[in-house]
Amino acid sequence: MSQATESDVREDGTIESVSGPVVTARDLDARMNDVVYVGSEGLMGEVIEIEGNITTIQVYEETSGVSPGEPVEGTGAPLSVDLGPGMLDAIYDGVQRPLDVLEEKMGSAYLDRGVDAPGIDLEKTWEFQPDVETGDTVEPGDIVGTVPETPSIDHKVMVPPGSEGGEVSTIESGSFTVEEAVVELDSGEEIRMRQEWPVRQQRPSVDKETPTEPLISGQRVLDGLFPIAKGGTAAIPGPFGSGKTVTQHQLAKWADADIVVYVGCGERGNEMTEVIEDFPELEDPITGNALMDRTCLIANTSNMPVAARESCVYTGITIAEYFRDMGYDVALMADSTSRWAEAMREISSRLEEMPGEEGYPAYLSARLSAFYERAGYFANINGTEGSISVIGAVSPPGGDFSEPVTQNTLRIVKTFWALDADLAERRHFPSINWNESYSLYRDQLDQWFVDNVREDWPETRQWAIDTLDEETELQEIVQLVGKDALPEDQQLTLEIARYLREAWLQQNAFHPTDTYCEPEKTYRIMDAIKTYNDEAVDALEAGVPVEELTDIESAPRLNRIGVQEDWDEYIDELEDDISSELRELY
Amino acid sequence: MKEYQTITEISGPLVFVETDEPVGYDEIVEIDIGDGEMRRGQVLESASDHVAIQVFEGTEGIDRSASVRFLGETMKMPVTEDLLGRVMDGTGQPIDGGPEIVPDERQDIVGAAINPYSREYPEEFIQTGVSAIDGMNTLVRGQKLPIFSASGLPHNDLALQIARQASVPEEEAGGEDGSEFAVIFGAMGITAEEANEFMDDFERTGALERSVVFMNLADDPAVERTITPRLALTTAEYLAFEKDYHVLVILTDMTNYCEALREIGAAREEVPGRRGYPGYMYTDLAQLYERAGRIEGRDGSVTQIPILTMPGDDDTHPIPDLTGYITEGQIYIDRDLNSQGVQPPINVLPSLSRLMDDGIGEGLTRADHADVKDQIFAAYAEGEDLRDLVNIVGREALSDLDNKYLDFADRFEEEFIDQGYDTNRDIDETLELGWNLLSMLPKDALNRIDEALIEEHYREDEPAEEVAAD
């Protein structure tokens, strides 16, 4: 966390009243959204309303024991994050205080109050490699050098967006702390590795482009049926227990982004601990390095102060934008945006604002869309291209998708992964309902799959969708008359659709092999089932009874492809076995 | 300590007082109502010239001349190991006639949040001896796993069974780390009869000496209910993280707690959220539930089993709904199973333990545990679905395999779930029972189980009808 402590000095005020996370102060000279320090303990807060000489502040820490009359000190700067090397492999609270540093400073396993810590280590030195030479002209956003931040990621040191730019007069390689100047311009301006940026303000870019490349998640149901683009937006709504968090974790682990920012917003402490313990041990399937090397975690658990929950998504997206500016593909997971919305509602109700739908503030929709609009595929101001994909979990009360947060989110996002309690109940995981979900990126991403996986990817996928659709219709009839009353070809469709569900859509996140499925394997499994279908249809036409077709010995092996490490040979062999077994029948 | 006689307004559980000196938010207040009777309360809102106080014991009998003293500190709980075996009321005053409590420490009852970085991930199995939990929805140390029940269902019997039988494998093996089990029981607004049921059972089984009981009964002031669970959890944290106990906290009934929150919210004229409950109920509940867990470098743990009764059996009601979003799973008590006489009537299908996957398997429970659980879930769900169908078309119209699924579902309920409240099954018994049932199905229908495990455990011969489990 950083505040511009040296900036213009402003008048301090005194506390007028305290009610939970909302404090009012009298005679405080501050601007909207300025960071202030509240009370004698110096609790961090943010100005959210100014009325006459009364300023309303949301406080990011517990306010027990704070009393009227205590001082409030302004910093004159809005809530900002520290940007620079050291953010990867870090775990922050909602206002970018590193949790490991807090533990050390507080000397306790519990979060104490009034302790501040910079977002990046100010004393650590980094190896700086210049990318420009003396005499070169640089402009805001330009990359002037590189720091090997982690084994996976080279951190690009950029001219801050607010700089004047100019000619480079001094630049040297060597070890520097983030606060030492690495570049001097002829104007006398010094460029450091550390930048600051206010979290509620989008970082500048030149243009937003149409995304054409998928964010490969390694999850068959997502890559196969409902792909998200690099630079796209997705929502995962679902009732509790339907697997939102596991899906988010799977994406954080296996998505082929360069950088992952994971925002745990108002969720469970133990879940964040799981991420902290698991990620350093997991291997990135692309680089082979530890997953933590490309990950930045923001943990604001449900029992941590509610105002910091409101700010944590902004902290996350600002960090994501900074890496985007370096030309990286960033994926941001927010779990859960409903908790963020509830934090807004809680603060709004303490301010006694006129409520909109279900007590949420009237600006809910505007805030949500402004946040998701910070995603996209961007042309950066330094000429590079980078993307931010945002995947937000939504926790609708009672699993009812008609509630305001889900509805307002769906109006913005282009991918909808609907989690289904019924599927979860029968342990069909990931429990993404294939009838309700959609991806509006499907058509624009098809070309990529054709070029990089298989030429007939779109056709094969369409066959799978049609088969699943037909099954849904047939199931309604089966519920009334039983399976045996159906014509034979429809009975076969049911069996094929069952394999699509069990062997293809289902995927075991806890199995070491099945947890990640490359697009090629996703295609092969789907295609193997299609082979079975095509061969069986031929056999059926030749007069073989459907029971014999579905009872063949090799078919159940389809269900085991997911867990095979050498799936390529396994599928070759299986397809041969299925074909020959079926052909023997006629 | 300044005394005020400047009450301006008394409304429901709230008292408003004019002050001329600043008072801290959340501070504790004593109100002398005249005849020597003292009431305690807490500052809900503090402004420079007045404060709003919520009175724990109710505002009955308070008039504007009552004198109000601000104690200058937030609410504290006196904690000591000697609390074990004691019974207290909802505000922490002993009601068992025992000796005065001499505290080792006084701790703030609003626990600070545990730094997620300092937590240790829970992955040690707690054996409850209940197959529906151990086998299908395993509880681990440091978890918060609520029981979703409803009026007229035997959730108390289940809670008592868990409190009696809960053990950790290492404890059975001799307990090398020396951590002991303790039970903290926090009752909020339960009837005197229910309270007796719990107390009798605690005394009968000798569980009382390893327990601390907090009793807020149905006729005690509602506002008091908002501090009872905080006292219970503060005690739990002390025993777990300073005295190395494995603490199991049973909180019943969370529905009454939430009603009390709503009452206070309404009295303060707050903008209500869903169904009149305050908009901050999620945060408030999280501040209780998130106090479960383990901390790196400490031996003890806090495991929570909150019980709540769902109004109208509706799990989309805000109380179960918000709870489910915070806790790590839930156990559903089912009305149909209960009327069939199944004991305990746990419906495993909607039940869930989120921490299960990391708490089971080789070295923790058994290598086949995860696969067996997945397969039973799938098979039982299949059987359940077919029950609807069979009502329409009859059993004859179904295939052999479908009939097997139906039989499986019936026997699963009769043999696996219905074990009675006095049967204590260890995890081996539970899993063997699972294999007995799964062996009713043909081998190639077991698509969730690793082939090697099928070879090892599948009963080739016709599965015996009678199961020697208990």
Bridge partners, A388 (sequence order) = A330, A376
Residue B301 tokens, joined: 């743990």
Say whether B381 and A110 touch across the interface (CB within 8 A): no
A:158-217 residues touching chain B, CB 8 A cutoff: none
Cβ(B216)–Cβ(B95) below 8 Å: no
Residues of B in Cβ contact (< 8 Å) with A342 = 279, 282-283
Q: Looking at the partner chain, which of B112, B329, B392 has a beta carbon nearest the beta carbon of A241?
A: B329
Tell me how many degrees the CA angle A298-A299-A304 measures, rounded to the nearest 5.
140
Say whether B321 and A397 touch across the interface (CB within 8 A): yes
Say whether A67 and B46 touch across the interface (CB within 8 A): yes
Report the candidate in B166, B179, B122 with the shortest Cα–Cα distance to residue B357: B122
Say whether A67 and B110 touch across the interface (CB within 8 A): no
pLDDT at A239: 86
Report the candidate in A61, A481, A585 with the shortest Cα–Cα distance to residue A304: A61
Residues of A in Cβ contact (< 8 Å) with B23 = 67-68
DSSP state of A558: G
Cα–Cα distance list, A49 to A30, A350, A569, B94, B354 (Å): 10, 12, 65, 47, 41
Residues of B in Cβ contact (< 8 Å) with A304 = 113
For B199, other C-beta atoms within 10 Å of its C-beta total 18
Cβ(A358)–Cβ(B274) below 8 Å: yes
Is A545 in CB contact (< 8 Å) with chain B?
no
pLDDT tens by residue, chain A, 586 residues = 444 444 444 568 999 999 888 899 999 988 888 999 999 988 989 998 899 999 999 888 888 889 899 999 998 889 999 999 999 989 999 889 999 999 999 888 888 888 888 999 999 999 999 999 999 999 999 999 999 999 989 999 999 998 888 999 999 899 999 999 999 999 999 999 999 999 999 999 999 999 999 999 999 999 999 999 999 999 999 888 888 888 999 999 999 999 999 999 988 889 888 888 888 888 887 788 888 899 999 999 988 888 888 899 999 999 999 999 999 999 999 988 999 998 898 888 878 888 888 888 999 999 999 999 999 999 999 999 999 999 999 998 878 889 999 999 999 999 999 999 888 887 889 999 999 999 999 999 999 999 999 999 999 999 999 999 999 999 999 888 878 889 999 999 999 999 999 999 999 998 889 999 999 999 999 999 999 999 999 999 999 999 999 989 999 999 999 999 999 999 999 999 999 999 999 8
A:45-84 residues touching chain B, CB 8 A cutoff: 62-70
Tens of pLDDT, residue by residue over B26-76, are 889 999 988 888 888 989 889 888 999 999 888 888 888 899 999 888 889
Looking at this protein, which amino acid is placed at residue A59?
V
pLDDT at A349: 82
Residue of B nearest to A399 (CA): B316
Say whether B26 and A65 touch across the interface (CB within 8 A): yes
Residues of B in Cβ contact (< 8 Å) with A106 = 115
Residue B298 tokens, joined: 């400490």
Cβ(A51)–Cβ(A30) below 8 Å: no
Residue B193 neighbours by CB under 8 Å, 6+ apart: none
Residue of B nearest to A506 (CA): B448
Task: State in Å, rounded, how far the first CA of chain B is from the last one.
Answer: 64
Give the C-alpha separation, A132 to A144, whole Å. Answer: 5
pLDDT along chain B (470 residues), means of 10: 87 90 89 86 89 88 90 90 93 90 91 90 91 94 95 92 81 55 92 92 88 92 90 95 93 94 86 84 92 92 95 91 91 95 94 89 90 92 89 84 94 95 93 94 87 90 48
Question: H/E/C letters for each residue in A218-236?
Answer: CCHHHHHHCCCECCCEEEE
Upper half-sphere CA count for residue B331 (Cβ side, 13 Å):
30
Cα–Cα distance list, A153 to A81, A126, A130 (Å): 20, 13, 16
For A171, other C-beta atoms within 10 Å of its C-beta total 22
Say whether A270 and B378 touch across the interface (CB within 8 A): no
Residue of B nearest to A300 (CA): B116
Strands (E), A111-250: 125-130, 137-138, 143-148, 154-158, 166-171, 174-177, 181-185, 190-192, 195-198, 207-209, 233-237
Say whether B119 and A270 touch across the interface (CB within 8 A): yes
Tens of pLDDT, residue by residue over B223-233, are 889 999 999 99
- Run of H or E including B248: strand B246-252
B:302-361 residues touching chain A, CB 8 A cutoff: 315-318, 321-322, 324-326, 328-330, 349-350, 352, 354-355, 357-358
Closest approach of A92 to chain B, Cα-based (Å)? 9
pLDDT at A2: 46
Give the three-state DSSP class for A283. strand
Give the C-alpha separation, B339 to A501, whole Å. Answer: 35
Give the C-alpha separation, B420 to A204, whole Å. Answer: 66
pLDDT at A112: 83
Residues of A in Cβ contact (< 8 Å) with B454 = none
Say whether B357 and A510 touch across the interface (CB within 8 A): yes
Kindly provide the ipTM of the predicted complex, given to two decimals.
0.84
Residue of A nearest to B381 (CA): A426
Look up the pTM and report it. Answer: 0.90
Say whether B119 and A426 touch across the interface (CB within 8 A): no
Upper half-sphere CA count for residue A108 (Cβ side, 13 Å):
12
**Residue B91 CA from chain centroid, whole number:** 20
Report the candidate in B321, B122, B252, B317 with the shortest Cα–Cα distance to residue A272: B122
Say whether A359 and B399 touch across the interface (CB within 8 A): no
Cβ(A238)–Cβ(A259) below 8 Å: no
Give the C-alpha separation, A373 to A365, whole Å. Answer: 12
